Amino acid sequence: MGYDMELIALILLPFFGGVASLFARGLGRDGERWVALIALSLALVVLLFAVQAGDEGRWLAEHRSDWAPALGVQVILAMDGLSAVLLAMSLGLGIISVIVSWNIPERSGLLNACLCWTVAASNGVFLSFDLLVFAFFWELMLVPAFLLIAVWGHGEREAAALKFLVFNAVAGLGLLAAVFYLGAQGESVTFDAFALAALDLPQGVQVLLLGGFVLAFLVKLPVPPLHAWLPDAHTNAPTAGSILLAGLLLKTGAYGLFRFPPMLFADGMLVLAPYGLVLGAFGSIYGALMACGQTDAKRLVAYTSIAHMSIVLMGICGGVHFSMMGAAVQMVAHGFSASALFLLIGALHDRLGTRDLRELGGLQKNAPRFAATFAIFFSASLAMPGTANFLGEALVITGLFQVNWVFASITLVSLVISVVYATRLFKRIVFGTPHRPGPMQDLTMRDLGPIIVLAIGTLLFGMLPQLLMGPMTIAVDAALAPLAAAGQP
């Protein structure tokens, strides 16, 4: 491996940007916000440079250096096409989160620091291939996310934040235990994922260790019955918190499932994959049905996330090229559409003081920009052709038909149910009679900027799928290779 410092900068720039935000109030009005915005924007420029200057082959950039050599811990960072796409989404959503939080006056320095630190820790997850360092970033990202919900949330924010922390921290212990055990299995203690991938562990041991990894990933995804923290966290989080939860933290769970089980535990994954398909099938139907019964718009979108991320789980467990590629595409597509819906609902709540669908209506009369943007992301939630969501779910379903038509059919049923909740959400908010007399402020240019970016991503990748699939093809093939080798007689 080389010594590309760009990868380290992708973690340190957001981290130190957050630290600087804490002390930036003296720079003048909005100083802490500008510091966070500049740090995240610089990191995005560094990412674009690293991709542009990337090596040919699987890895665009790599870095390896010692951290604690006596303990076998190294800083091993590597970026392929999948990592690059998720890093771009992480930094982009971080910038959007700073913009949508611009007018929050309470503890602005700490707020922007938490936004930057969430992005920094997530970037560490997307880049780390030393398993102990990966687990370090995995646990670290819980802290700023917890503060975002507990300090700047609404309603029962403290209870929601504690539930989020307990679920994810306890599940993370399983990951840590498996990492410690795995690290001790070589000739010398190491947490180098590339070295550990070469171990020839018995299938039973692989299944046991994989269980520790999977528990952490499924809670973060999340999939029923491990999802109980998500609706409460979304309902009570501020808009920026919901954007980072839906667009970023949930994706770390999917990324972990995509990256490490095939690489480290191919034999074990072949054993557990059928159970993952069953769990994903249940989650896709459960999330869709629960979404149909919600009256709180944020809670409704939270349950749709459970349904869509369960489809991602099915794509990964399908273990064929189409389903894995579909899962990777769906990670990005859901990041765009769910973040945009939370942004729009947050803007509505700021203006009307309610997210109750029974008290909303008439946006096509009072706020045409709201109505138009809801229409775009309403189409994405329905996985309409032309959106990235359609591409992701179509690929997953095609792949599942290669594996087992029953799971593919269940996924189709969940999409049919999605028509019910998406139509209900659109009808309640956009049509009908306005419940509040008088004019309502439509989306401002500051609101529209992030939404336009998310809409462009949703439609561009839907219309030109190769732009998204091309960079991720090598990562998908690399994940499939050990599974194919393990499945050979």
Percent of the residues in the chain that have a pLDDT greater than 90, as a whole number: 70
**Best-predicted range by mean pLDDT among 120-129, 187-196, 433-442?**
120-129
Q: Which residues contact 307 (CB under 8 A, 6 or more apart)?
A: 283, 284, 285, 286, 287, 288, 291, 414, 417, 418
Tally of CA atoms within 13 A in the half-sphere of 94 that contains its CB = 39
186: pLDDT strictly greater than 90: no
Q: Are 268 and 393 in contact (CB under 8 A)?
A: no
Q: Which pLDDT belongs to residue 57?
A: 78
Average pLDDT, the chain: 91
Span 278-287, average pLDDT = 95
242: pLDDT strictly greater than 60: yes
275: pLDDT strictly greater than 70: yes
Q: Residue type at 465?
A: P
Peptide bond into 222 cis (omega under 30): yes
434: pLDDT strictly greater than 80: no
d(Cα 306, Cα 287) in Å, to the nearest integer?
A: 5
Q: Are strands 73-79 and 61-68 parallel, antiparallel or unpaired?
A: antiparallel
Q: Token pair of 212, please? A: 């520790």
d(Cα 91, Cα 249) in Å, to the nearest integer?
A: 13
Top pLDDT among 362 and 438 is at 362
Q: Are 391 and 327 in contact (CB under 8 A)?
A: no
Render pLDDT for 19-72 as a digit per residue (tens, 0 to 9).
Answer: 999 988 777 778 899 999 999 999 999 999 999 888 777 889 999 998 888 888
At which residue do the structure tokens 């996330």 appear?
A: 305
Top pLDDT among 149 and 431 is at 149
Q: Which pLDDT belongs to residue 438?
A: 64
d(Cα 195, Cα 61) in Å, to the nearest integer?
A: 18
Alpha carbon 51 to chain centroid, angstroms:
21
Q: Which pLDDT belongs to residue 2?
A: 46
pLDDT band at 1 (very low <50, low <70, confident <90, very high): very low
Q: Which pLDDT belongs to residue 488?
A: 62
312: pLDDT strictly greater than 80: yes
Top pLDDT among 375 and 94 is at 94
